[in-house]
Structure 1
Amino acid sequence: MTRYFAVGTLFIDEAALRALRTSLSDLRDELAWRSHGLDSAFHASEDSQYVCV
Structure 2
Amino acid sequence: MECLRCGRKLKDKKSMDRKYGPTCWRKIQEEPDLIYHAEITEGDDHETRTG
Q: Same fold (TM over 0.5)?
A: no
Greater percentage in strand: 2
Could you say which structure has the greater relative contact order, defined with CA pairs below 8 angstroms and 6 or more residues apart?
2
Q: Which has the larger Rg?
A: 1
Greater percentage in helix: 1
TM-score normalized by the length of structure 1:
0.30
